[in-house]
A and B are shown apart, each in its own frame.
Chain A
């Protein structure tokens, strides 16, 4: 089967919820072309397609979750085969904004970023603004990725924006924002001082590349 047909089949398995069959297909490719190539040429393009379908509201939350689980399985298999995906990009500091405890989106973002070779420092839920900036400075991260589900908690993102600006780090540390509320109210990205957002967890590697200027290199 050629690469295009294989991608289509992988997509079908994800959309049907067939984790096992998806992994059989991926392991078969990895046996022939190694995990790194499988991730680059098979998994990542399929995840891109998932992202487009998500943006068009044509797939379920469960299918997005399934894609994340399969990506996680692949990372684990690659590590077991001593083909660790090199963390050549980043780091990115991730976390849910203060008072926000909806971790699903953030966890998926971390998986998809790692699949694309980003080093991720995940601070978890309910992270104060100072902590985001402290950790970003300590690890020389150029991007903070912050997640919020509801308007009430999303408003706390403004505190991170102010903390970045107060320390004179404007433009040096970019603020990526995401979560359900930004799909409903995209104008909030600018209102809360965000430098960009992604339409879905799958789409975050593109956003991070854009914010770090990699898209033009």
Chain B
């Protein structure tokens, strides 16, 4: 049985002999190949070399296309900074005001170099693994994209005090999101992972989430011609899952490490896929015994749940994480006896 078959079984709530798993090792490929990040996040073939090294290291059941959402902001005109051992970050947002954003055209998804990098990386990964390993391509949620194009403060300002302008901006980002998602699916992405922050009551007022954000997100997702994994975006979300469960085309929910998987299951019912929830960003600094204990706790917790994929939560696993630890995690998952 290959990775794709394992993942599909989880999606269809069917028994698997081996728990499917993924680790967020988009960045880590560069460590394994020694590729400078200025090349890794610009040259699709260098990125794919890194993912081949990830596959050789621990053979996850899902591979990631570049997890570098700032490149989308770059396509809109934001300035980036390349930091050692981390994905590029937004240095200077593209626009100072909502009005400037509204006047600007969205980037051409077929020609802008930053967007072509995502697409070509996805095409190459998909071609390389030829349907045996699902490819997850990550895109910024259309309700979050303005935060990296305008800056978080300007986007909050617009949402709180200029809802008409916020709606106008989200029309633009919705079109962009749907076009990119569909292009990436056509390029070979198996599904689109969407980290989402502004749906979370830790970020925004609940009434704005309900009245503005979720309807915009529902419109965006309804235009996507393939499966979506709704990602926690850095905040716990189990308690809000009932609100997100009805979003169209959402095949699964990737949970924060602070979320209770039992609570998530209770909100979603037995048939929705959940992914989670080992904290990936602390793997370099927590004792390996503690990590392995947590891995076993998660596996034990979901032992009888067929609709579950073991995954790391949060952003990329850091550069400094020992490769032996990642191999040990992969081995522990493979050796764990499920009862499903």
Contact = CB atoms under 8 A, between A and B. Distances in A.
A66 interface: yes
A99 B201 contact: no
B153 A61 contact: no
A101 B85 contact: no
A62 B89 contact: no
What secondary structure prevails in chain A residues at the interface with B? helix
Interface string A46-88: 0000000000010011110110010000000000000000000
A52 to B, nearest CB: 16
B205 interface: yes
Interface residues of A, number: 21
Contact of B152 (A19, A66, A104, A150): A104
A60 B89 CA distance: 24
A34 interface: no
A61 B202 contact: yes
Interface in B63-98: 81, 83-86, 89-92
Contacts of B153: 65, 103-104, 107
A99 B81 contact: yes
Nearest to A64: B156
A65 B160 CA distance: 10
Interface string B187-229: 0000000000000011111011000000000000000000000
Given A17-B160, A65-B160, A101-B90, A152 B85 contact: yes
A150 B203 CA distance: 18
B280 interface: no
B151 interface: yes
Contacts of A63: 205
A102 interface: yes
A99 B83 contact: yes
A62 B205 contact: yes
Interface in B155-176: 156-157, 159-161
A126 B81 CA distance: 11
Contacts of B81: 99, 101
What secondary structure prevails in chain B residues at the interface with A? mixed
Contacts of B202: 57, 60-61
Q: How large is the interface on B (under 10, 10 to 19, 20 to 34, 35 or more residues)?
A: 20 to 34
A17 B159 CA distance: 11
Contact of A101 (B92, B156, B159, B205): B92
Nearest to B81: A99
Contacts of A61: 152, 156, 202-204
Nearest to B161: A19
Nearest to B207: A17
B280 to A, nearest CB: 13
A205 B159 CA distance: 28
B151 A17 contact: no
Interface string A6-46: 00000000001101000000000000000000000000000
B91 A17 contact: no
Contacts of A65: 153, 156-157, 160
A17 B204 CA distance: 10
Contacts of B86: 150, 152
Given A65-B156, A101-B91, A103-B153, A60 B83 contact: no
B203 A62 contact: yes
A71 to B, nearest CB: 14
Interface of B: 81, 83-86, 89-92, 151-153, 156-157, 159-161, 201-205, 207-208
Interface of A: 16-17, 19, 57, 60-63, 65-66, 69, 99, 101-104, 107, 126, 150, 152-153
27 contacts: A16-B205, A17-B205, A19-B161, A57-B202, A60-B202, A61-B156, A61-B202, A61-B203, A61-B204, A62-B159, A62-B203, A62-B208, A63-B205, A65-B156, A65-B160, A66-B160, A101-B81, A101-B89, A102-B152, A103-B151, A103-B153, A104-B153, A104-B156, A107-B153, A152-B83, A152-B85, A153-B83
